[in-house]
Structure 1
């Protein structure tokens, strides 16, 4: 079984293969929380950092998020020593006369988010969460939750919170808002893009909120309401089946998944969709493959230093990191990751536990996912997965939105970086981006939203304007370990330009190779390099500020730079990334295969795409 190591920030796993192992993992994730519950049990005070909502709301959030793991445990016949505390917390948190009352909610309140798991629990385990309460306590819980029918939620995945609460009310025989329930479910159809993809609201992004929120809640609904609403339940299951074939490409053989988008501090919630797929009984996807996806992702995460010395999940990605966090990430927020423990709702006799864990099936080397604006490229030898990004026409304006949604490529092997500020290249940490600054200002702008965005095979094209009188047309020829970037820049002001490659984790014994317009570096974490093809004057290594990268606290970043007078300029580069490589010696001198498929003539650039079609870029 697992053992918590108090002197470390990782959890040892031995071997996390059986249902009993997963139960033990949940116990070790939740046991350190016991002394942190308030006297009345209604609040969970995990840490001292702040979020956009008050500390008392954050403590209520911490309380609720633990239930995403405990409810499936009880559904599957298990027991938790925390459950009596949970029931006391519900009694006191919903009692207006108690000092730990969770309070009257407002429009778009964070507490509306946290109500969803209560709705799920009322529908799934009424005997454990509803029946133990007195009539007065039941009335107080119902009244507190029913506030969600009087206050609007954001027009995105939040609408499902209301759905789950009303499903819970219906299951226990209490009045529910059937009209609002139906309207919210219909609104989800407006977010559907086809081929299993949703956007997180109209003009929203297609990121992890598709699998670990929209599909997850839809599959809960499909299972809980398959008798009462069979047609819609079947639609939700079919959409999830289609999405599964697409989402499979986001996972690497070692269990890691693409770091991309917001809310990445939810960590192993990356795999929550797969458990929901099995829970809802979606057919057509091998259960052994799903089991492998869930367990490998958990193993990978539990090998990272994501816990503090007391065994508490921290805010961050592979290490504690507030720099990358959202404004809504409170100390208890990471426990949303317990949604991945939904398989515990399955009995020990379910095929998920009986069948052997299977590796990833054969996945195409190049997968075009137009609804997500991505081209997924896989390198079989290294297991490296990269998502090349054509950019978006809209922005959600969350923290570091450019870094999380507008880089040219996202990688399981290199992660991505967020800026500490826009002052200089080291603070900006502009990996996989073209950063532009008015000459001499040292304040850089990057792609934030696009005027155009499209994909043709493995060629991605976007048009973006960092200033009103600066237009950038970008083409990315996706590939691994090399890919090509081409930019046409029409500028009405003098600019300093910097093109960043992959940010590489630093270790002792950094090896580097620098030429006039070439730079490569290797460490224990692999090889990263850039090669100027057109327009660049200099190559150098940038040493970004600490804690800017999601995977590594300290990184080194090969970068190409140049100066641009007002006018029209063409820039082109070849970018190399291999997280399994051990030496950069000679890498830059190699002629990458992708360059053989891109011909730079005087008036045109010819690209041979992944489907062997010829793509022409006119050099105006």
Structure 2
């Protein structure tokens, strides 16, 4: 799509911004449109914005507070970035909302901040916005209003938050109280900052709370709030700021590899309705003067992503952000998501705090990594492989680490209940989304190797147990369970990247009679994708030419005592954030004989025309003696040997001998 359908934007500048055409003026116009669109939904005193859409589990009043707080963050970046030179009405709206929201007699006052309440999340946005706009809003508020605001924030003092990124909401809010001379608890701040040290896992990565919780919250929360805190704390930071800057710098070295040439971020994790909030760490790197990215790359990445959404109707015709990705799509949201929740996307406008003459706004754009060549990036901290291909601009994420499960308990069941399709899948990409509607997620087809019970119930990839992640390979296993069967069956997978392909080597334990099924990437569109299948291959293709294929390389064609292999295209409707019609290519092996088997498949996602019937010629598979390893040989002569559990066990026995 060449233009943003619902925005009247300035002319593009193809000299300064040869890749995107966007300048600072485009960002300002987009911010102004989003802010103006909220006015019809304001309560009379402007303390709440009650937007249309599904309510959250917190109720309409808290949802209204969310509308104020998150849009105030956007307004703050716009006001402060312009040095206060904005329409006076914008400043007046939020000043009036602060007065009414903290007045118990206004009829639209905000709920008190209590332990683990949603108000804690929103208060942090208000605290940041008040700090950044202090000369234009806080310093001009009546003394009584300032006292009421501080008293409302006092609900944090000595309070309890959820033990994850929420700890940082308390840190930022109480530091704001300290900055305005209001009562606060220094221990709350220090303990919150100390707690995130437990979650730092290296190479710039945190986990969001205990466990393997890796997603965009690492960027738009775990890296963002510590450095927002340091902006409020100033020199009284106890030396922490230098550490946070170094960690963010390391994180940003790899972060551009998460974005496709069209600006799309990899579609993985929760709260995806925040969309371009994924840009927050990129802007913060420049704001905190710790980015390893060239100024022209910072703007290329940020403007490319903002333009990507604008060209696909975000914000919508009303100027609003909906609960979804492009259009409204509730299965990609969570119960805590209300109609104003998407306005955490305001964090994506953090770059407006940088002055207009800053190099990120004045330097010429430079290409993204994927625009310069194919890229392979191993991220051992989250257990991910990234591979991007220049010719079609797609980035694919191979997941062998993030499962959003509680911390490992050796005495607990390994499966830990239900899986989340935004974490449990083997792969994600910038061009596809997982099948996340409940009816489709229950089928568990896309990017998953499952055992099927006789009634068709699939095993779930719950806790991910890592084995390795380096170079172009990564591996993990999960414990499969089937209804009526008390045993757990080990399903191990090693992913090998080569060109645009992922080769999956599966080691499958299964009960006799079970069906083994594997799905590739789901593709979705407004029109039904075309599907095709043949002996040992299956493919789906959208009207725009995005193709997904899965090809059997070994172990899918049946063996003595098993049923025949099969290939098919699984279709669904209203199950995918990328379009109402979706299709997933998959392979199936019926009547597993029981015990252990090896299945090898090639998974492809491309905007090229795919010929899956010949893709099996691209790689040959050899199983070594005793099934100790699987040797993959590609047409270019590259050879990769993948060790198996049998081989490792044999090595262990030899070592004992």
- Residue 148 of structure 1: CA displacement? 1.3
Is 1:228 aligned to residue 228 of structure 2? no
8 Å contact from structure 1 (residues 223, 279) kept in 2: no
Question: Of 428, 444, 449, which aligns to 1:434?
Answer: 449
8 Å contact from structure 2 (residues 121, 166) kept in 1: yes
Is 1:515 aligned to residue 534 of structure 2? yes
- Residue 314 of structure 1: CA displacement? 0.7
Return 5+ residue gaps in structure 2 as ranges: 13-20, 408-415, 557-563, 648-657
Residue aligned with 2:590, SS = strand
Residue aligned with 2:150, SS = helix
8 Å contact from structure 2 (residues 171, 189) kept in 1: yes
For residues 417 and 30 of structure 1, the distance between their equivalents in structure 2, rounded to whole angstroms, comes to 33
- Residue 193 of structure 1: CA displacement? 0.9
- Residue 327 of structure 1: CA displacement? 1.2
Question: Of 175, 180, 187, which aligns to 1:167?
Answer: 175
Q: Which residue of 2 aligns with 1:37?
A: 42
- Residue 364 of structure 1: CA displacement? 6.9
Q: Which residue of 1 aligns with 2:204?
A: 196
- Residue 86 of structure 1: CA displacement? 1.4
- Residue 510 of structure 1: CA displacement? 5.1
Comparing 305-314 and 259-268, the one that deviates more? 305-314
Is 1:379 aligned to residue 396 of structure 2? no
Q: Which residue of 2 aligns with 1:72?
A: 77
Deviations 1:224-253 (A, max 9, x none): 434222621111111110110021211122
Question: Of 48, 53, 60, which aligns to 1:55?
Answer: 60
- Residue 484 of structure 1: CA displacement? 1.7
Deviations 1:478-512 (A, max 9, x none): 34422222222223464233211111234669554
Comparing 322-331 and 463-472, the one that deviates more? 463-472
- Residue 592 of structure 1: CA displacement? 5.4
> What TM-score, normalized by structure 1, do the two folds share?
0.91
Identify if the C-alpha distance between structure 1 residues 122 and 237 changes in structure 2 by more than 3 Å, giving closer, same or farther.
same
- Residue 474 of structure 1: CA displacement? 2.1
For residues 577 and 34 of structure 1, the distance between their equivalents in structure 2, rounded to whole angstroms, comes to 46
Q: Which residue of 2 aligns with 1:564?
A: 591
- What root-mean-square deviation, in Å, do the aligned CA atoms of Structure 1 and Structure 2 show? 2.8
Identify if the C-alpha distance between structure 1 residues 508 and 119 changes in structure 2 by more than 3 Å, giving closer, same or farther.
closer
Task: Kindly report which structure 2 residues correspond to 1:329-340, keeping only aligned pairs within 5 A, or say none.
Answer: 329-340=337-348
Task: Kindly report which structure 2 residues correspond to 1:366-515, keeping only aligned pairs within 5 A, or say none.
Answer: 366-392=376-402, 395=405, 401-421=419-439, 428=443, 430-439=445-454, 441-467=455-481, 468-469=486-487, 470-492=489-511, 494-506=513-525, 511-515=530-534
Q: Which residue of 2 aligns with 1:548?
A: 575
Question: Of 21, 24, 30, which aligns to 1:19?
Answer: 24
For residues 618 and 164 of structure 1, the distance between their equivalents in structure 2, rounded to whole angstroms, comes to 48
Return 5+ residue gaps in structure 1 as ranges: none
For residues 285 and 174 of structure 2, the distance between their equivalents in structure 1, rounded to whole angstroms, comes to 22
For residues 156 and 545 of structure 2, the distance between their equivalents in structure 1, rounded to whole angstroms, comes to 47
8 Å contact from structure 1 (residues 323, 547) kept in 2: no
8 Å contact from structure 1 (residues 534, 570) kept in 2: no
For residues 438 and 355 of structure 2, the distance between their equivalents in structure 1, rounded to whole angstroms, comes to 47
Deviations 1:344-400 (A, max 9, x none): 112222222221122224577221101111011121222221111114476159998
- Residue 258 of structure 1: CA displacement? 0.7
8 Å contact from structure 1 (residues 259, 415) kept in 2: yes
For residues 402 and 467 of structure 2, the distance between their equivalents in structure 1, rounded to whole angstroms, comes to 6
Identify if the C-alpha distance between structure 1 residues 332 and 510 changes in structure 2 by more than 3 Å, giving closer, same or farther.
closer
Identify if the C-alpha distance between structure 1 residues 491 and 61 changes in structure 2 by more than 3 Å, giving closer, same or farther.
same
Residue aligned with 2:643, SS = strand
Identify if the C-alpha distance between structure 1 residues 226 and 493 changes in structure 2 by more than 3 Å, giving closer, same or farther.
farther
8 Å contact from structure 2 (residues 9, 29) kept in 1: no
- Residue 75 of structure 1: CA displacement? 1.4
Q: Which residue of 2 aligns with 1:617?
A: 644
Task: Kindly report which structure 2 residues correspond to 1:21-420, keeping only aligned pairs within 5 A, or say none.
Answer: 21-76=26-81, 77=83, 78-80=85-87, 81-229=89-237, 231-361=239-369, 365-392=375-402, 395=405, 401-420=419-438
Deviations 1:398-439 (A, max 9, x none): 99853111211111122322143269xxx6362111233311
Q: Which residue of 1 aligns with 2:547?
A: 527
Comparing 454-463 and 62-71, the one that deviates more? 454-463
